[in-house]
Structure 1
Amino acid sequence: MLLAVRAFWLVLQAAFAHLYSGLAYPVLIVAGIIGWRGWRPWWILPVIVVEAVYASDLFAHASGSGKLPGAMSNVFFQLGAFTLLALIGFAIGWTIRRRV
């Protein structure tokens, strides 16, 4: 249980790092539009994969203390971070659609 909480916390930190660097906004916007329009949720998958591969390549030479800089170059870890961001964006778009 503790390992799952630590992994989720690390993915959450990566998502906030992507918000700071600006890489999260395309995924959030596209997922929000898909949720708002009521389209199929799996249409966001290509955007998630492209952003994850780009981010892992961008952070390939990151260094620093802690686990986050080392994990940022792992494409599977990046898939988790961008999936979390896409779920948040889709949920916001879906909520807006239900309220309007």
Structure 2
Amino acid sequence: MMLATTQSGKAFKADYFRHFMRDAFNAAGLLEVTTHGLRYTSATILKELGLDWETIGDITGHKTAEMVRLYTEKRRRVARSIAMLDASELQNTTDESAKPVE
């Protein structure tokens, strides 16, 4: 199944697709967007939706689960860091509320 085709109905070749998308991004004023960035974002969103590594790789075209993990690692590290900060803040709030008022 092909998700995107050329105007003649044929499959995009990788290089043609990259140029086609670059022209579309430029026309839309999205100069910082790349097809590689979309792949990264897609893998991250799919993981956040709960898909397993193999399924994400099948969708994004990654050959190994390890590559999918690499693509999503930055976002997962950020999420873990925020969760740790939130837990720390909750602990500090709980500790302060347990102190007697003088």
Q: Which has the higher helix share?
A: 1
TM-score normalised by the shorter chain: which range applies?
0.3 to 0.5
Q: Identify which of structures 1 and 2 has the higher relative contact order when contacts are C-alpha pairs closer than 8 Å and 6+ apart.
A: 1
Q: TM-score, normalised by structure 1?
A: 0.40
Between structure 1 and structure 2, the one with the greater Rg is 2
